[in-house]
Amino acid sequence: MNNRLTCTNADQRGMPPDPAENFQFTGQRFFRIDNGRITGQLRDVAYQATTTDFWGSMAAVGGPQTYVLGGAFNCGKAQPGQVAAVSHGCPSALFKGVNILNTTQEAGR
């Protein structure tokens, strides 16, 4: 398969109480990859899976040179929302067979 998708700064929605349950992430930046080259930025993208299926679909992990640290000013948990800075980092990774959504289409807009 020559068409791929890349994402930076993913945001988790719906943290499951059981790790095997479904989860969904949106991201701040998604890019389409065709034949190994980034060909454009995409909008309204999310991906979803079960935890075990998601991690089982990992096909490759980038080296130390691909590591990026990201963060946000609030953790986005609880009602009312908690105000606490959070950060996370990860190397580039390749996942195959993950369900990709167009969030605008899914919302019926």
Read off the pLDDT of residues 69-80 as tens digits, 9 standing for 90 and up. Answer: 887 777 767 677
Read off the pLDDT of residues 35-67 as tens digits, 9 standing for 90 and up. Answer: 889 899 988 888 889 888 999 999 999 999 999
Whole-model pTM over 0.85: no
- In the chain, the number of structural domains is 1
Mean pLDDT of the chain: 79
- For residue 61, the enclosing domain spans 3-106
91 CB-near residues (< 8 Å, 6+ apart):
61, 62, 63, 64, 66, 67, 68
